[in-house]
Amino acid sequence: MNLPEVQVKKILYATDLSENARYAFAYAVSLANLYNAGITMIHVLPEVPALLDQTVIGYISEESWQKIKSAQMDDAKEALIGKKREHLAIKEALHQFSEDVKQQQQAGDGFTTDDIIVRRGNPVEEIIKSAAEHNCDLIVMGTHGHGTLEDVMLGSTARRVIRRSKVPVLVVRLP
């Protein structure tokens, strides 16, 4: 039986900025070095859930809530084009983190950071969309696991990315 040749040229590293996500980055870097692949980093700021919409409307008018959400959307749009500090701070922190890891690598080893993406939306949707937009061959992300029940189940974001991704997903647990 002939096995297909595995080509990994672009890795999408999804981070929620947690300790587990930093641990998963070690795997992304190791694979990038092994395959001479570039890494694209993504962090997604989640949208307001529908349940929160219904709860808040119980306290304030729907019109007031829509105005607040609209203002937040404008802020998000400004952030994505580089006018707001929150998104820039996250993007800069990820860039600095990437550079620090590169400096810790042995001479000759060095991955390339292709892009750093900070978006607002549904994390699963944005991860899947970014993997397609950047023609990624692999998604690397962390998951939680702190007890018996958690050992059986993956994090909900990781689980949904695995189900929907058209490319392989490496899910890394915090030891």
What is the reported pLDDT for 163?
94
* 142/16 Cα distance (integer angstroms): 9
Q: What is the mean pLDDT of residues 109-120?
A: 80
**Quick one: pLDDT band at residue 147, thresholds 50, 70, 90?**
very low
Q: Show the tokens assigned to 70.
A: 């609209």
What is the reported pLDDT for 83?
45
Mean pLDDT is lowest, of 45-54, 129-138, 163-172, for: 45-54
The SS3 of residue 97 is helix
Type of residue found at 36: N
Q: Show the tokens assigned to 10.
A: 């672009």
* 119/31 Cα distance (integer angstroms): 25
Q: Are 134 and 10 in contact (CB under 8 A)?
A: yes
